[in-house]
Amino acid sequence: MTVEQGRMPITVHAEIPATTANLGPGFDCMGLALGIYDSVSLSDRPDGDTDAVEITGAGADTLPRDRTHLVLGTLRDFFEAQGFEIGPLVLRSHNRIPQGQGLGSSASAITAALVLGKEFARRHGHDVSDVDLFQIGSDIDGHPDNVGPCIFGGMTVSWDEGGCWERAHLVPHPSIRATLAIPHAVLSTKVARGLIPDVVPHHDAVRNSARAALAIHAFTTEPALLLPATRDFLHQDYRASAYPQSYRLVQRLRERGIAAAISGAGPAVIVFTTDDPSEAITDAAADDREFFDITAAAIDTTGAQIVAKETSDTPNGNNRAPLER
């Protein structure tokens, strides 16, 4: 369907949170949404023959403007797969989620495409009642541990059941604060995944299972146990060579009794505390302190949202509308 003669072009706006996957031992299955948002909008382009992409913020100098742009490409693939005919589009994106840091930017980009695409198609009169964004997004990104919290907010645990993605939604304990140490370096998730062995010792699998189970309890009920609950045996040691400064910072923080882990595939470090850890992080970073930007991140509880209008620089949730997922 194209914009009919005389009909006002449609614009849909969305805010899409960053996510931190793994939380230590929850490799490929646990994740948490963070209050750092990409603001993305999609409009009909009645006066153009092709799609247009406008980008500000993170990636403005590096991301493509054609169909290889992850949001636009995913949108077009989604419309084609669903059989929705949609004319030329303008995609506008103000990105606050840094790319290649382990903050789920690719999952957020894919989620942005699907959330906007579903709402845009609905407003163009298409039936979207059977469209399951979590399923489609997890298949495309391959990381339900990012896509789950990105869509639903809070914390999710996800698993594969006979080729379908399932998830449970958890509410993190309100006293938990997340702080990020974001290095001046990037790492592609694909490269980081290449460092993980196909097989791990049974003993490590057992130890990791215990910590992952404990993480559910610590994140939801007893934050005092966050230090042991964020110990991983499946990925961080294997990937240490790809993020030496981040790995060192995690070790030093943990030696000081602070729950720290690599965020997603890295190289950002995520710290979970119930008080302000900035000083401790600066201290633990020692000679590497100039290498990291330290910033607090709220825990997002709502997930991706269609919003009434484009937000100013700091999304505050005032114009958020419930999203039909």
Ligand X SMILES: Nc1ncnc2c1ncn2[C@@H]1O[C@H](COP(=O)(O)OP(=O)(O)O)[C@@H](O)[C@H]1O
Which secondary structure element, helix H or strand E, spans residue 122, and what is its range? helix 105-123
Residue 304 and residue 3: Cα distance in Å, rounded?
26
Q: Binding site for ATP: what residues are annotated?
A: 98-108
Binders of ligand LJ64HWYM among 23-62, rule CB under 6 A?
27-28
- The answer to whether 195 contacts ligand X (rule: CB under 6 A) is no
Angstrom CA distances, 312 to 15, 38, 39, 65, 316, stand at 11, 12, 9, 23, 9
- The answer to whether 56 contacts ligand X (rule: CB under 6 A) is no
Q: Which does 28 bind (CB under 5 to 8 A by kind): ligand LJ64HWYM, ligand X, none?
A: ligand LJ64HWYM
Binders of ligand LJ64HWYM among 242-271, rule CB under 6 A?
264-265
Of 36 and 307, the one with the shorter C-beta distance to ligand LJ64HWYM is 36
Q: Binding site: what residues are annotated?
A: 98-108
Task: Say if residues 137 and 16 touch (Cβ distance below 8 Å).
Answer: no
Residue type, 116: L
For the chain, first and last CA: distance in Å?
23
For residue 52, what are the contacts with CB-CB under 8 A and spacing of at least 6?
Answer: 45, 65, 88, 89, 90, 91
Selected from 146, 158, 245, 246, the binder of ligand LJ64HWYM by CB under 6 A is: 146
Selected from 12, 14, 21, 258, the binder of ligand LJ64HWYM by CB under 6 A is: 21
Q: Which does 93 bind (CB under 5 to 8 A by kind): ligand X, ligand LJ64HWYM, none?
A: ligand X
Give the shortest CB-279-to-ligand X separation in angstroms: 27
Residue 148 and residue 24: Cα distance in Å, rounded?
17
- The answer to whether 105 contacts ligand X (rule: CB under 6 A) is yes
Which secondary structure element, helix H or strand E, spans residue 91, and what is its range? strand 89-95
Residue 182 and residue 198: Cα distance in Å, rounded?
29
Selected from 25, 104, 153, 267, the binder of ligand X by CB under 6 A is: 104
Phi, psi of 217 (to 5 degrees): -70, -45
Per-residue x/- track, 154-193, ligand LJ64HWYM (CB under 6 A): -----------------------------------x--xx
Give the shortest CB-104-to-ligand X separation in angstroms: 5
273: which strand partners?
177
Helix axes 105-123, 144-152, angle to 10 degrees: 50
Per-residue x/- track, 275-314, ligand X (CB under 6 A): ----------------------------------------
Residue 49 and residue 51: Cα distance in Å, rounded?
7
Residue 181 and residue 85: Cα distance in Å, rounded?
43
- The answer to whether 102 contacts ligand LJ64HWYM (rule: CB under 6 A) is yes
- The answer to whether 223 contacts ligand X (rule: CB under 6 A) is no
Q: State the residue for tokens 């690719």.
A: 106
Residues at the interface with ligand LJ64HWYM (CB under 6 A): 21-22, 27-28, 102-104, 106, 143, 145-146, 189, 192-193, 235, 264-265
Residues at the interface with ligand X (CB under 6 A): 38, 59, 63, 69-71, 93, 95, 99-106, 109, 188-189, 264-265
